Amino acid sequence: MPTTDLRHGLAQTFAPAERTLPAMLMRQAERHGDKPLVSACDDTWTYADTAAAAARTAGALHAAGIGPGDRVAILCSNRIELLGLLLGCGWLGAVAVPINIASRGAQLQHILSNSGARLLVLEPEYAGNLAMLDASALTLEALWTIGAPGETHFGRIAPRSMPPAGEAMPPAPVGPSDLAMILYTSGTTGPSKGVCCPHAQYFWWGANTAALLGVTSHDVLCTTLPLFHTNAINTFYQALLTGASVHYEKRFSASGFFAALAQHGASVTYLLGAMVPILLSRPESAEERAHATRIALAPGVPAQFHAPFTRRSGIRLLDGWGSTETNFVLGTTVERQKPGLMGPVAEGFAARVVDDLDNEVGDGVAGELIVRRLFRYGGEDGGSLAEPLVPHR
């Protein structure tokens, strides 16, 4: 299906008011039922399972006193429990705050304080990240661990094991512009910034990316990227919207990457710029072709690595540009792209390259890229013009 047809088809299938996580989960559970939607480690959920898990995780959160608008921080690797918490928060109307598992010290203190999280859910493996935090300066009221707390300690808060799924709740009456998640930037140039992501933003992340990758209901998506990052969260929405399936690996392994693609029957995968040179640095092997993967979303891969990677692996690399604040808004299909170029601007967005005074620069002149969304996520058609919003740099 052509890119514009898939994107517009999804926009017609999901009316503006239905571009919320509960509405998308319920609709797709009705359509796809027992088809596998997501797997991580040894756990697999069908479409029906996933909707039920969201409703029951919301029930457990509600029973613990979490309500709409409350922030739930999560420090966890790629496990099905992490996805369940993201979905349960969205179902309840609470706000999920997935945190980079490398965060600790001042950065983690800032994220927990800035987000106003009332609950922290922690994989015990990362209990050491809490060292040197001042629990008394935070709004945290409870700490759950995924499994037994073990030796976990955090100020006066007594850790407890994450409760089992509760009684299924009806979905909260969330709207497409209501807040679903707060994702924190890496903090390389200053304190991590919390990016407020509404429900419909991830509808468009999924629709735009799936359209450019050509995802269909027959595809199996496989990613090694972390679920605390927008790329891997987007992968879930691509699968959900198109009727595909997605598998989450625990982490990226250069030695195990191609074997994982073959094991899960992946047809689409996901890479970041540095990962491709790492894979190419390894000796060629038959394993690089022993899979059915046709394409990888691979932003930021230097142009000179595209052809060698495709020659060795048979996987074509799709470049493009997006940010946590915007979604995938610069790019084209793999057949039309030119390595080293990001591609045209997606419908509903505008982009410019400017100098230090925000004056537009000419072709071939280096500057700063600014992107502006031309519509509000809660608008009547999800793509109509409205007053200009603040540019993203």
Q: Distance (Å, rounded) from C-alpha 204 to C-alpha 214?
A: 15
Domain count, the chain: 2
Residue 75: strand, helix, or coil: strand
Tokens standing for residue 377: 């996520």
Do residues 356 and 380 make contact, with C-beta atoms less than 8 angstroms apart? no
Enter the pTM of the model: 0.92
Report which residue type is found at 57: T
Mean per-residue pLDDT of the chain: 91
Q: What band does 389 get if pLDDT is binned at 50, 70 and 90?
A: very low
Tokens standing for residue 210: 């799936």
**Would you tell me how many other CB atoms lie within 10 Å of the CB of residue 36?**
18
Tokens standing for residue 252: 């990226």
Cβ contacts of 182 within 8 Å, gap of 6 or more: 71, 95, 96, 97, 115, 194, 195, 196, 197
Helix/strand number for the chain, H first, E second: 10, 18
Q: What band does 376 get if pLDDT is binned at 50, 70 and 90?
A: low
| Phi, psi angles (nearest 5°) of residue 331 | 165, 170
The candidate with the shortest Cα–Cα distance to 293, out of 275, 272, 271, is 271
Q: From residue 229, how far is each of 57, 232, 336, 380 by CA, in Å?
A: 21, 6, 28, 29
Q: What is the pLDDT of residue 8?
A: 87
Does residue 298 sit within a domain? no
Which residue would you say has higher pLDDT here, 310 or 386?
Answer: 310
Q: Distance (Å, rounded) from C-alpha 169 to C-alpha 42?
A: 26
Domain final position from 148, 163, 196: 196
The candidate with the shortest Cα–Cα distance to 199, out of 64, 94, 77, 67, is 94
Q: Specify which of 151-155, 355-359, 378-382 reaches the highest per-range mean pLDDT.
A: 355-359
Helix (H) / strand (E) element for 296: namely strand 295-297
Tens of pLDDT, residue by residue over 63-100, are 999 999 999 999 999 999 999 999 999 999 999 999 99
Does residue 376 sit within a domain? yes
Q: What is the pLDDT of residue 109?
A: 96
Per-residue b or e along 307-345, where b marks 16 or more CB atoms closer than 10 Å to that residue's CB: eebeebbebbbbbbbbbbbbbbbbbbebeebeeeebbeb
Q: Distance (Å, rounded) from C-alpha 159 to C-alpha 152?
A: 7
The partner residues of 183 in beta bridges, in order of sequence, read 195
Tens of pLDDT, residue by residue over 184-208, are 988 777 788 999 999 999 999 999 9
Residues belonging to the chain: 393
Tens of pLDDT, residue by residue over 257-310, are 999 999 999 999 999 989 999 999 999 999 999 999 999 999 999 999 999 999
Domain final position from 146, 164, 196: 196
188 burial type by CB count under 10 A (0-12 exposed, 13-18 middle, 19+ buried): exposed
Does residue 152 sit within a domain? yes
Q: What is the pLDDT of residue 2?
A: 63
DSSP 348-379: TEEEEEE-TTSPBPPTT---EEEEEE-S-TTS
Do residues 98 and 183 make contact, with C-beta atoms less than 8 angstroms apart? yes
Does residue 364 sit within a domain? yes
Tens of pLDDT, residue by residue over 16-56, are 999 999 999 999 999 999 999 999 999 999 999 999 999 99
Q: What is the pLDDT of residue 388?
A: 36
Does residue 243 sit within a domain? no
Domain final position from 196, 226, 246: 196
Q: What is the pLDDT of residue 12?
A: 92
Tens of pLDDT, residue by residue over 117-170, are 999 999 999 999 999 999 999 999 999 999 888 878 888 898 999 999 889 999
Q: What is the pLDDT of residue 392?
A: 54
The distance of Cα 131 from the centroid of its chain, to the nearest Å, equals 28
Do residues 324 and 197 make contact, with C-beta atoms less than 8 angstroms apart? yes
pLDDT at residue 391 is higher than 90: no
**Would you tell me how many other CB atoms lie within 10 Å of the CB of residue 151?**
9
Q: Distance (Å, rounded) from C-alpha 93 to C-alpha 79?
A: 22
* CATH number of residue 179's parent domain: 3.40.50.12780
Does residue 20 sit within a domain? no
Q: What is the pLDDT of residue 393?
A: 53
Q: What is the pLDDT of residue 384?
A: 33
Q: Distance (Å, rounded) from C-alpha 55 to C-alpha 200?
A: 19
Does residue 301 sit within a domain? no
pLDDT at residue 231 is higher than 90: yes
Does residue 181 sit within a domain? yes
The range of the structural domain enclosing residue 72 comes to 27-34+45-196
